Every structure is written in structure tokens, then in C-alpha cells.
């Protein structure tokens, strides 16, 4: 019996996959627990429509992210922080600081989890920081840390 999975099932298949399951497994397990539906014409049409909508959203998101990544090449954030004589700062610049400043200055919503920063910035200088924008698309922004 052909069924369309509604959820990911370990060692069986992923959500949206069309599966040829045995009649007993489909009738006694998959269908009663609402893990799958029978692959009739109506359900196949709904699945195809959902897949096309998801592909469109993904394509639009990728296009917008690429556009923002191009703009980000010219973006620069400057942080003024107290520092000692040897260039070490009193405090540090974290991913949250970078995301907050970016959101204020460029009116874009970037989450702190999207800022790729191995460790917080604790010395003066210029850094190129990667920001993940969308699946497979990231941009680089220049961060300048200067003494007050």
C-alpha cells in the first residue's frame, strides 16, 4: 500500500516521502497513529502543492539573503572600548554585541546565534566576522575595535 509520511520515522523515511508499506503495517500502525496518509490523488496533489510552496519560499529566502550578503561587503561596525597599553581590552565584544549593533545600524534582524564567532573579541583591531543569513548563504562584515 502506498502511503505519504506525515512525520519523520526512524529507519522508515522522512516527512513527505512516498513509501510502499505493507498493508498490515500501514493499516495497523501508520494510519491509526496519524504518521501517514494513503497516497490517493487528492493527498498526492496536496503534497505536490506543499513541496512547490516550500521550494518557492526557500528560493525567495536564498535570493534575499544573497542580496543582503552583497550589501554586507560594504558594512562596517565600530566598537569603542577601554583598552590597556598593550592593546588588551577591558571587557570583550561578543556575538550578542555584534548582532545588536548590526540591527541598530542597518535595520536588519540578525540573531546572535547567526554570528560566527569562535571566541569573544578581546583585543583591538579589525576583524572580518561571518554572519549566517540563510541556508548555505553567509555574509562577511568588518568589525573595528578601537580604544576610547
* pLDDT score of 88 more than 90: no
3-state SS, one letter per residue, for 94-123: CHHHHHHHHHHHHCCCCCHHHEECCCCEEE
One domain, residues 83 and 140: yes
One domain, residues 84 and 22: no
126/129 Cα distance (integer angstroms): 10
pLDDT digits (tens, 9 = 90+) for 111-142: 899 999 988 898 899 999 999 988 889 999 99
Please state, in angstroms and as integers, the Cα–Cα distance from residue 144 to each residue in 18, 72, 122, 132, following that order.
Answer: 52, 15, 12, 19
One domain, residues 77 and 56: no
One domain, residues 82 and 125: yes
* pLDDT score of 59 more than 90: yes
Q: Domain range for residue 53?
A: 2-62
Asked whether the beta carbons of 1 and 38 are under 8 A apart, the reply is: yes
One domain, residues 109 and 134: yes
pLDDT digits (tens, 9 = 90+) for 13-38: 999 999 999 999 999 999 999 999 99
One domain, residues 51 and 75: no
In this prediction, residue 79 has a pLDDT band, given cuts at 50, 70 and 90, of very high
One domain, residues 32 and 58: yes
One domain, residues 51 and 123: no
pLDDT for 94: 92
Mean pLDDT of the chain: 91
One domain, residues 102 and 56: no
Residue where one domain finishes, among candidates 13, 47, 62: 62
pLDDT for 148: 82
Amino acid at each position: 500500500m502506498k502511503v505519504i509520511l506525515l512525520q519523520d520515522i526512524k529507519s522508515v523515511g522522512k516527512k513527505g516521502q512516498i513509501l510502499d508499506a505493507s498493508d498490515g503495517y500501514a493499516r495497523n500502525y501508520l494510519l491509526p497513529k496519524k504518521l501517514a496518509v494513503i497516497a490517493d490523488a487528492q493527498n498526492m496533489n496536496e503534497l505536490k502543492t506543499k513541496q512547490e510552496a516550500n521550494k518557492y519560499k526557500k528560493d525567495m529566502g536564498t535570493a534575499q539573503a544573497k542580496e543582503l550578503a552583497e550589501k554586507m561587503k560594504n558594512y562596517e561596525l565600530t566598537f569603542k572600548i577601554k583598552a590597556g597599553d598593550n592593546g588588551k581590552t577591558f571587557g570583550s565584544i561578543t556575538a550578542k554585541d555584534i548582532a545588536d549593533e548590526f540591527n541598530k545600524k542597518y535595520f536588519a534582524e540578525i540573531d546572535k546565534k547567526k554570528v560566527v564567532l569562535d571566541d569573544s573579541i578581546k583585543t583591538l583591531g579589525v576583524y572580518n566576522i561571518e554572519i549566517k543569513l540563510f541556508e548555505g548563504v553567509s555574509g562577511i562584515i568588518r568589525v573595528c575595535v578601537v580604544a576610547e
